[in-house]
Amino acid sequence: MTNSGSTPASVSSEAERLIRVNSQDQVLGTISKADAHTGDGTLHRAFSIFLFSTCGEVLLQQRAMTKRLWPGYWTNSCCSHPREGESYPQATQRRLHQELGVSCPLHYLYTFEYSAHYLQVGSEREVCSVYVGSLNKTHHLTPHPEEIMDCRWFTCQDIDTRVAKQPESLTPWFLLEWLELTTNRWQQVQKQLGQSVS
């Protein structure tokens, strides 16, 4: 599922101010997106969203090749950062609209800290909050071409197979999150979505 038509305005910038935090997610100040991802990275807030269809499939996106870190990799439905002055609810809904052209209720699952290096280009070092939501597959998606080169619905079994056989095609945060969801959070996901996720 790819985007067509005229290119929409950019929705992110290396100069935007992200929220610098400690390991307890307490605010320490702000930092530019560029600086937050330089070298070993500086710990900052982030979020990841998993959108499930009513039949239990999961929407994954393939990151645009213009992305600085992990271009062309497959990852969860939507992921980004709260900006200076934004709450998590504000940031997650903003980014869903910007990246996919959708909005839906989201349910918080958990928060974790991780770091990962991408070649010699830079790093992610984030306190990341994970959310799930439900979206009808018939809903029209408008993926932003500067953020997403493709997006598709996958069965959970298809994702498990890709994780086992092609982990190098997936972002490091997605691998950590999918393991946590399927190992420790599956009943919580089902409860939050009010459906059976198989």
Residue 55 designated active-site: no
Q: Could you tell me the two tokens for 4?
A: 């067509």
The Cβ of residue 95 has, within 10 Å, a number of other Cβ atoms equal to 23
Round to whole Å and give the CA distance between 159 and 95: 23
CB 32 within 8 A of CB 18: yes
114-139: b (≥16 Cβ within 10 Å) or e: eebebeeebbbbbbbbbbbbbbeeee
Q: Which residue in 57, 124, 126, 146 is the catalytic one?
A: 126
**Look-up of token digits 């990275």:** 41
Would you call 79 a catalytic residue per the annotation? yes
Instruction: Exactly one of 78, 79, 128, 151 is catalytic; name it.
Output: 79
Q: Do residues 23 and 113 lie in contact, with contact meaning Cβ atoms separated by under 8 Å?
A: yes
d(CA 170, CA 54): 24
Active site residues: 79, 126
